[in-house]
């Protein structure tokens, strides 16, 4: 599914600075203080620090096993095959909200911070952004749809294994960076035996742009989104457009990563608001 948003004109925005922090990001957005807004917690739903992959627990063992399978099986050729298969968009037609409801059936095995159905993660992220940026409805909708590609786990979409749908993403066709979580398992990946893929740039020209880089297959690629590795390990492949988009990604990441909670959003209570956004931006059913 291909989706796009027209970003607000930052030159025409007027920003009230009285109750904001001093940090201003391009795009006209400020990082708000926590007075009445979203307050990022220090610990995740399991009582640990966020994104900690080293804690000994049953959840962490499951997460590590996921990344082992992901790092062994995500190869350049595998991603090429998946892109060819799924760009047909021949599974079914449905609305954005119908897709959201399908995520009631999906739990992300790669997530060390939450084991709730994915519709809760979508709504928790969207509601957190809504608190801090009440007037940016396009950003609320971005949060709502950002993980819809996880429907790939369901039978009607091919019932792909978790390692082929969720988890952090990384480029293929160049050296695997050491900062990637559970990096040790890449030694079993067939691409590790291809000399062309073992340099920093690999098969890519410097600054080629992330649109031209083969990224590990999953829900992000299915939604035609480009994910930047959280450690910034592949900035040498970015072009000017990627750098501009990074500013928006840095805003979004706070809410995507730190809004996860065992306290569920009342779906029926917030549903009318998100249906109104879907009607505004995506009134028709989409091909998936």
> Is 269 exposed, middle or buried (CB count within 10 Å of its CB: 0-12, 13-18, 19+)?
exposed
113 located within any domain:
yes
181 located within any domain:
yes
26 located within any domain:
no
160 located within any domain:
yes
Give pLDDT, residue 167.
85
Q: What is the count of structural domains for the chain?
A: 1
Q: Which structure tokens are listed for 196? A: 């062309």
> Is 181 exposed, middle or buried (CB count within 10 Å of its CB: 0-12, 13-18, 19+)?
buried
41 located within any domain:
no
38 located within any domain:
no
Q: Which structure tokens are listed for 14? A: 């007027």
Give pLDDT, residue 197.
97
Separation CA 73–CA 58 (nearest Å)? 23
pLDDT tens string 163-195: 999 888 899 999 999 989 899 999 999 999 999
165 located within any domain:
yes
pLDDT tens string 2-50: 333 344 443 333 333 333 333 233 333 344 444 456 555 554 443 444 4
191 located within any domain:
yes
Expressed as residue numbers, the domain containing 260 is 58-287
Percent of the chain with pLDDT over 70: 71
Q: Which residues are annotated as a binding site?
A: 121, 146-147, 219, 256
Give pLDDT, residue 73.
98
Q: Which residues are annotated as a binding site for Fe cation?
A: 121, 146-147, 219, 256
User: In the structure, what pLDDT confidence band is assigned to residue 56 with cuts at 50, 70 and 90?
Assistant: low
User: In the structure, what pLDDT confidence band is assigned to residue 106 with cuts at 50, 70 and 90?
Assistant: confident
């Amino acid at each position: 599914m291909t989706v796009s948003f027209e970003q607000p004109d930052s030159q025409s925005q007027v920003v009230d600075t009285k109750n904001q922090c001093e940090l201003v990001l391009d795009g006209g957005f400020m990082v708000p203080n926590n007075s009445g807004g979203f307050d990022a917690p220090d610990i995740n739903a399991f009582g640990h620090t966020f994104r900690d992959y080293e804690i000994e627990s049953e959840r962490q063992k499951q997460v590590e096993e996921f990344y082992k399978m992901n790092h062994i099986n995500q190869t350049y050729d595998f991603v090429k095959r998946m892109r060819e298969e799924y760009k047909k968009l021949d599974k079914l037609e449905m609305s954005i909200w119908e897709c959201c409801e399908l995520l009631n059936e999906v739990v992300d095995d790669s997530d060390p911070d939450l084991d709730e159905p994915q519709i809760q993660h979508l709504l928790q992220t969207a509601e957190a952004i809504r608190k801090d940026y009440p007037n940016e409805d396009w950003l609320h909708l971005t949060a709502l749809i950002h993980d819809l590609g996880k429907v790939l786990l369901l039978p009607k979409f091919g019932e792909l294994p978790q390692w082929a749908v969720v988890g952090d993403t990384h480029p293929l066709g160049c050296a695997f960076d050491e900062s990637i979580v559970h990096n040790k398992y890449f030694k079993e990946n067939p691409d590790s035996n291809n000399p062309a893929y073992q340099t920093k740039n690999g098969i890519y020209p410097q600054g080629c742009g992330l649109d031209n880089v083969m990224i590990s297959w999953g829900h992000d690629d299915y939604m035609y989104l480009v994910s930047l590795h959280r450690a910034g390990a592949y900035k040498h492949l970015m072009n000017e457009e990627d750098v501009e988009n990074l500013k928006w990604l840095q805003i979004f990441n706070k809410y995507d990563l730190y809004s996860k909670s065992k306290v569920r959003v009342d779906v029926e209570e917030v549903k009318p608001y998100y249906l109104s956004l879907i009607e505004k931006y995506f009134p028709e059913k989409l091909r998936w």
